[in-house]
């Protein structure tokens, strides 16, 4: 095990976790899962070997803030669009996604909502905010135009926009990224979702706005589960209850945020954490995991991380590891001896 790297670099994360701990809620462990994903495999249609997601499996409970981390190309966005039911028609999904115990195909679309990394691209540029919000509200509630306007204004107030009437007359290009993200969140809330998928909702925003948006999500989470996709480990640790690490389409580690921060078990998780430069001193070189993410077309039998791992065993090259461990932390790795 690469002990030095994890020892030296964990401290700021544990600290970040403890800072965020105050707002954390106890998640009722016994309640049935809100979202449960079992054996989700997504392949490119006609190429069954090209797996964008491979046997992904996890559960989310009401009120939970689940952070999904992973580098670009690891399949985070594919997972989000698959859960939302808007994945490209060129992809084929195998496995089960259940929300509140019912399969995805049967449930009402409004149980889940999604916000995105660049909100300005996801708002129609030639329609004003009021039109887009009202449309969503009307579709949900069958309200009259006037009622829908009032409801839309209420929603904008809920997400911290002070002058909803004025904002509803504006177009997306007249507003900042943070304001557009608030509008996206308001639009998501209009559906009264049980599951909110947030695909890097703060990556394109400045730090102050980022904090406001995160606080807003924090405030909203009591009524729903949040699947928060990010590559900002600090944010993931500070805000989330649990963290899932996605590597090359596979969840390699899932665990309570504090446990993952203190004792990352998977070598990839350790590599991810060591790639974050510490604030306290100037690093001479920035760490980055050696090698690159294998392309979906070039993945072979065995562990996907084997080619970049320092502790590769013979078995790693032939048999893919499965998730195992305690209820608090599971990991998919053959080489777990300390």
Where does this chain bind other proteins (CB under 8 A)? 84-86, 109-110, 113-114, 116, 118, 121-128, 131, 135-136, 139, 171, 173-174, 184, 187, 191
Contact call for residues 301 and 291 (beta carbons, < 8 A): no
Decide whether 116 or 273 has the Cβ nearer to other proteins: 116
Minimum distance of other proteins from residue 236's CB (angstroms): 23
Decide whether 131 or 277 has the Cβ nearer to other proteins: 131
List C-alpha distances in Å: 216 to 72, 158, 181, 211, 219.
26, 9, 11, 8, 5
**Helix %, strand %, coil % of the chain (to 5):** 40, 20, 40
Decide whether 174 or 223 has the Cβ nearer to other proteins: 174
C-alpha–C-alpha distance, residues 172 and 146, integer Å = 22
- Would strands 91-99 and 35-44 be described as parallel, antiparallel, or unpaired? antiparallel
Minimum distance of other proteins from residue 50's CB (angstroms): 22
Decide whether 2 or 174 has the Cβ nearer to other proteins: 174
C-alpha–C-alpha distance, residues 275 and 282, integer Å = 14
Contact call for residues 70 and 246 (beta carbons, < 8 A): yes
**Rg value, the chain, Cα:** 21
Decide whether 205 or 333 has the Cβ nearer to other proteins: 205
Element (H, E) at 189: helix 177-190
Question: The tokens of 277 are what?
Answer: 């430069």
**Is residue 70 left, alpha or beta, with left meaning phi > 0 and alpha meaning psi from -120 to 50?**
left
Minimum distance of other proteins from residue 112's CB (angstroms): 8
Minimum distance of other proteins from residue 169's CB (angstroms): 9
Decide whether 46 or 327 has the Cβ nearer to other proteins: 46
Decide whether 102 or 173 has the Cβ nearer to other proteins: 173
Minimum distance of other proteins from residue 218's CB (angstroms): 23
The 10 Å Cβ neighbour count of residue 232 is 17
Minimum distance of other proteins from residue 209's CB (angstroms): 20
Minimum distance of other proteins from residue 136's CB (angstroms): 5
Question: The tokens of 330 are what?
Answer: 């599971």
List C-alpha distances in Å: 76 to 52, 80, 185, 249, 324.
9, 6, 20, 8, 22
Of 229, 172, 232, the closest CA to residue 196 belongs to 229
Decide whether 122 or 228 has the Cβ nearer to other proteins: 122
Minimum distance of other proteins from residue 333's CB (angstroms): 35
């Amino acid at each position: 095990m690469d002990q030095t790297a994890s020892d030296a670099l964990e401290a700021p994360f544990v600290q970040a976790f403890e800072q965020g701990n105050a707002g954390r809620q106890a998640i009722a462990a016994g309640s049935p899962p809100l979202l449960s994903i079992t054996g989700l495999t997504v392949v490119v249609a006609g190429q069954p070997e090209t797996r964008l997601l491979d046997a992904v499996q996890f559960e989310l409970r009401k009120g939970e803030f689940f952070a999904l981390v992973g580098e670009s190309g690891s399949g985070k966005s594919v997972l989000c669009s698959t859960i939302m039911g808007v994945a490209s028609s060129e992809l084929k999904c195998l496995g089960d996604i259940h929300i509140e115990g019912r399969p995805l195909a049967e449930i009402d679309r409004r149980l889940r909502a999604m916000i995105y990394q660049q909100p300005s691209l996801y708002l129609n540029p030639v329609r004003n905010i009021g039109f887009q919000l009202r449309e969503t509200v009307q579709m949900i509630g069958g309200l009259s135009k006037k009622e829908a306007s009032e409801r839309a204004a209420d929603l904008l107030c809920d997400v911290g926009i002070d002058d909803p009437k004025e904002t509803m007359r504006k177009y997306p290009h007249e507003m900042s990224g943070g304001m557009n993200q608030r509008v996206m969140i308001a639009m998501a809330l209009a559906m009264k979702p049980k599951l909110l998928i947030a695909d890097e909702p703060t990556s394109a925003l400045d730090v102050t706005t980022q904090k406001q948006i995160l606080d807003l999500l924090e405030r909203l989470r009591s009524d729903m589960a949040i699947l928060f996709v990010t590559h900002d480990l600090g944010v993931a640790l500070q805000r989330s209850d649990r963290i899932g690490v996605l590597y090359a389409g596979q969840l390699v580690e899932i665990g309570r945020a504090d446990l993952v921060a203190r004792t990352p078990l998977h070598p990839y998780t350790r590599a991810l954490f060591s790639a974050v430069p510490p604030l306290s001193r100037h690093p001479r070189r920035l760490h980055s995991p050696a090698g690159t993410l294998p392309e979906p077309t070039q993945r072979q039998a065995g562990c996907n991380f084997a080619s970049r791992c320092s502790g590769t065993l013979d078995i790693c090259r032939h048999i893919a590891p499965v998730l195992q461990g305690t209820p608090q932390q599971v990991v998919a790795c053959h080489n777990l001896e300390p």
